[in-house]
Amino acid sequence: MIYVKIHRSYRNVVAVCDSDLIGKKFKEGIKQLDLRESFYKDKILGEEEAISLMQIQSKEDSTFNIIGPKSISCAVEAGIISENSIGRIMGIPYALVLL
């Protein structure tokens, strides 16, 4: 399952994270992922729902913060990111999208 939280502002920020990673912290050198519940945890969605939501939000010029293998896979399928835009910290894939 995937958690999605939309932070509404002049430009929405869509936080997407695999449910099993919430609350964890990963650090590698100067890079870190701090997957706080307050930023990522809101609606829990299946993969098809997450893909649909990301496609809708991309049309709204939202920005995206995507963490975890399932979430990244959904973002690729939704056309939000490509394979070459994926970073990794301690093996955890992530992507930031500023449209």
Percent with pLDDT over 90 in the chain = 93
**Per-residue pLDDT at 83:** 92
Q: Domain limits at 9?
A: 2-97
The DSSP bridge partners found for residue 7 are 13
CATH number of the domain to which 32 belongs: 3.30.1860.10
Mean pLDDT of the chain: 96
The CA distance from 26 to 7, in Å, is: 23
Q: Quick check: 99 pLDDT over 80? A: no
pTM over the 0.85 mark? yes
Q: Look at residues 91, 48, 97, 98 and name the one whose alpha carbon lies nearest to residue 73.
A: 48
69, exposed or middle or buried, with CB in 10 Å at 0-12, 13-18, 19+? middle
The stretch 46-67 carries a mean pLDDT of 96
C-alpha 65: how far from its chain's center? 4
Tens-place pLDDT, residues 9-48: 889 999 999 999 999 999 999 999 999 999 999 999 999 9
**Per-residue pLDDT at 98:** 87
Q: Please tell me the total count of domains within the chain.
A: 1
